[in-house]
């Protein structure tokens, strides 16, 4: 379909009319829509898997592990918790509000939401966010990525067969269509993508003072710290798995590894062995290995690898025809080099050696940069690890593990600063797509004249005494 500004405007207006009908305010109705969405995902599972294979070269297992399965888990969690999350809160009004006794906080939907999703996890990062929007009682216009065209087509079919257009619809197209959407007055915007585009989304949203949630990649990259006391084999195994996953095209992936120079050689050999064990000596020929999203992404990866070819100790090869580029270890890399001050979003893995007794200085350097989307540390010194993880600024992370913090139920998935704002997953997603509204119920009898004039003369001392007493 060809979209115009007028067509987008009409979509938003029909959804606004549907929202104002009040039907989405009913929690039981929302639960019915979530169950419909879950049934649709299951029914379209094979189509979604094929789309992910076409766009990203995902095997069936990886497609389910990284996109389809987590969506079903997210919907299940939301179905189980929604009635509790949506229940109005009752609060004691306090003596200052006498004779009012109770105040209610309602969790109300924003209204018409705009969801702009990325190419790297086109199913999860579309339907996962949609789950939160539905739970909150909103309608949704979804702008999917033009880079993952097959997934967009599959999503359009799934949504069109499940929901009416005036409730939920998928819009395809490039940046021009995204800008047409951003020009409209939405009530909530949720964007997942790069920090550069995130700034643009905020700028456009500011024109209508629309609240925005941003899930971004770390602008200066996500760090993994491997200390000299780490279990090297375990660290290598997990790091290799994660760098292979989706060919590194993950917002929480390891952008670079800082490894204690005391164990650097041993670690490098262990990591090489793990890449070979998991994906083979020629990953670019392995059909299970995912591909980069388009020729531009492949060329950018290859060009950067070429700049560091003298320091490549593993990988560095690829097949432009299939867009598969091998996991590539670059060593040694200084902490001040450009490659570790940008989000790579590809299979390149710079390795930065440091002296283990200078690890705190390393953490200070990381802290001085833009806040990463994720952080990972491998060490037996759990006291130090907990201190780092509770004092650094980043979106989320793991100690002696990678990535699976995002799979934990009941916890937020978020970024901070240049890696995002807002959060979702489970109840956090419900909160993101609702706003609290406080309503006090007044009384028509026994109202005190405390708040009324006059404030001086014979009334002053009494009123001041009561005010100070009520404020305790």
Sequential DSSP letters for 278-336: HH-S-GGG-TTS---SSHHHHHHHHHHHHHTGGGEEE---EETTTTEE--EEE----TT
Task: Give the pLDDT score at 456.
Answer: 87
Residue 306: both structure tokens together: 């070429």
Residue extent(s) of CATH 3.40.605.10 domains in the chain = 5-218+421-435
Task: Average the pLDDT over 12-41 and give the result.
Answer: 98
What are the tens digits of pLDDT across the range 133-192? 999 999 999 999 999 999 999 999 999 999 999 999 999 999 999 999 999 999 999 999
- Predicted confidence band of residue 31 (pLDDT cuts 50, 70, 90): very high
CA distance 58 to 159: 22
Using CA atoms, how far residue 5 sits from 19, 141, 187, in Å, is 21, 14, 18
DSSP string, 14-26: HHHHHHHTTGGG-
Spatial neighbors of 187 by CB under 8 A, at least 6 apart, are 110, 111, 112, 113, 138, 210, 211
Spatial CA neighbour of 376 closest among 459, 255, 205: 255
CA distance 351 to 272: 12
CA distance 427 to 409: 9
Q: How far is CA 56 from the centre of its chain?
A: 19
Residue extent(s) of CATH 3.40.309.10 domains in the chain = 223-369+374-410
Cα-Cα-Cα-Cα dihedral of 324, 330, 336, 338, to 10°?
-30
Does 444 or 389 have the greater pLDDT score?
Answer: 389
What percent of the chain lies above the pLDDT cut of 90?
90
Residue 96 predicted with pLDDT over 90: no
Domain 223-369+374-410 has CATH 3.40.309.10: yes
- HSE-CB at 451 with a 13 A cutoff on CA atoms is 8
Residue 269 predicted with pLDDT over 90: yes
Task: Average the pLDDT over 351-370 and give the result.
Answer: 97
Across the chain, mean pLDDT equals: 96
Residue 461: both structure tokens together: 């001392």
For the chain, give me the number of helices (H) and strands (E)?
Answer: 16, 20
CA distance 150 to 158: 12
- Predicted confidence band of residue 459 (pLDDT cuts 50, 70, 90): confident
Task: Average the pLDDT over 58-81 and give the result.
Answer: 97
Does 378 or 217 have the greater pLDDT score?
Answer: 378
Q: Residue 413 phi/psi, 5° resolution?
A: -115, 115
Residue 1 predicted with pLDDT over 80: no
Q: Residue 252 phi/psi, 5° resolution?
A: -105, 15
Q: Based on the residue annotation, tell me whether 370 is a catalytic residue of this protein.
A: no
Looking at domain 5-218+421-435, which of 3.40.50.12780, 3.20.20.10, 3.40.50.10740, 3.40.605.10 is its CATH number? Answer: 3.40.605.10
Task: Average the pLDDT over 281-309 and give the result.
Answer: 97
Task: Average the pLDDT over 12-24 and give the result.
Answer: 98
- Predicted confidence band of residue 468 (pLDDT cuts 50, 70, 90): confident
CA distance 449 to 459: 10
Q: Based on the residue annotation, tell me whether 471 is a catalytic residue of this protein.
A: no
Residue 95 predicted with pLDDT over 80: no
Task: Average the pLDDT over 255-280 and give the result.
Answer: 98
The span from the first CA to the last CA of the chain, in angstroms, equals: 63
Considering 181, 224, 251, 398, which one is annotated as catalytic?
A: 251
Task: Give the pLDDT score at 469.
Answer: 83
Task: Average the pLDDT over 309-316 and give the result.
Answer: 98
Task: Give the pLDDT score at 451.
Answer: 79
Q: Which H helix or E strand runs over 437?
A: strand 434-440
CA distance 259 to 206: 42
Residue 210 predicted with pLDDT over 80: yes
Task: Average the pLDDT over 208-218 and give the result.
Answer: 95
- For 453, the 3-state DSSP assignment is coil
What are the tens digits of pLDDT across the range 38-51? 999 999 999 999 99
Considering 49, 62, 215, 370, which one is annotated as catalytic?
A: 215
Residue 470 predicted with pLDDT over 80: no
Task: Give the pLDDT score at 471.
Answer: 73
- Predicted confidence band of residue 315 (pLDDT cuts 50, 70, 90): very high
DSSP string, 192-250: EE-HHHHHHHHHHHHTTT--EEEEE--TT--EEEE-TTS-HHHHHHHHHHHHHGGGG--
Residue 463 predicted with pLDDT over 90: no
Task: Give the pLDDT score at 229.
Answer: 98
Does 458 or 382 have the greater pLDDT score?
Answer: 382
Candidate from 146-160, 173-187, 419-433, 437-451 with smallest mean pLDDT: 437-451
């Amino acid at each position: 379909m060809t979209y115009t500004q007028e067509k987008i405007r009409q979509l938003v207006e029909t959804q606004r009319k549907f929202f104002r009908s009040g039907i989405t305010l009913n929690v039981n109705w929302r639960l019915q829509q979530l169950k419909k969405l879950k049934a649709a995902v299951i029914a379209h599972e094979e189509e979604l898997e094929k789309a992910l294979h076409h766009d990203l070269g995902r095997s069936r297992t990886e497609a389910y592990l990284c996109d389809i399965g987590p969506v079903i888990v997210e919907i299940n969690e939301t179905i189980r918790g929604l009635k509790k999350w949506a229940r109005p809160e009752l609060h004691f009004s306090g003596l200052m509000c006498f004779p009012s006794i109770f105040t209610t906080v309602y969790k109300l939907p924003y209204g018409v939401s705009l969801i702009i999703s990325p190419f790297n996890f086109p199913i999860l990062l579309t339907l996962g966010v949609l789950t939160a929007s539905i739970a909150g009682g909103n309608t949704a216009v979804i702008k999917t990525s033009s880079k993952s065209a097959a997934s967009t087509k599959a999503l359009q079919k799934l949504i069109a067969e499940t929901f009416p257009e005036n409730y939920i619809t998928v819009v395809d197209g490039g940046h021009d269509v995204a800008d047409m959407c951003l020009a409209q007055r939405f009530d909530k915007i949720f964007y997942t993508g790069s920090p550069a585009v995130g700034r643009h989304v905020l700028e456009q949203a500011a024109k209508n003072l629309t609240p925005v949630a941003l899930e971004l990649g770390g602008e200066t990259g996500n760090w993994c710290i491997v200390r000299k006391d780490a279990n090297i084999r375990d660290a290598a195994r997990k790091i290799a798995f994660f760098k292979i996953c989706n060919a590194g095209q993950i917002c929480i992936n390891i952008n670079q590894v800082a490894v204690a120079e005391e164990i650097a050689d041993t670690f490098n050999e262990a990591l090489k062995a793990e890449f070979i064990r998991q994906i083979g000596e020629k990953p670019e020929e392995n059909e299970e290995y995912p591909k980069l999203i388009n020729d531009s992404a492949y060329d950018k990866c290859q060009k950067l690898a070429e700049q560091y070819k003298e320091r490549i100790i593993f990988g560095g090869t690829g097949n432009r025809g299939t867009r598969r580029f091998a996991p590539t270890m670059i060593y040694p890399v200084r902490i001040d080099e450009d490659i570790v001050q940008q989000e790579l979003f590809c299979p390149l893995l710079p390795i930065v050696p440091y002296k283990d007794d200078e690890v705190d200085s390393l953490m200070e350097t990381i802290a001085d940069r833009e806040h990463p989307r994720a952080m990972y540390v491998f060490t037996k010194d759990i006291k130090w690890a907990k201190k780092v993880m509770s004092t650094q600024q980043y979106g989320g992370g793991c100690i002696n593990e990678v990535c699976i913090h995002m799979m934990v139920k009941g916890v937020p998935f978020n970024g901070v600063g240049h890696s995002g704002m807002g959060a979702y997953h489970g109840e956090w997603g419900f909160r993101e797509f609702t706003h609290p509204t406080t309503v006090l119920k007044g009384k028509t009898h026994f109202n005190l004249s405390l708040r009324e004039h006059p404030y001086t003369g014979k009334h002053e001392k009494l009123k001041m005494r009561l005010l100070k007493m009520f404020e305790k």
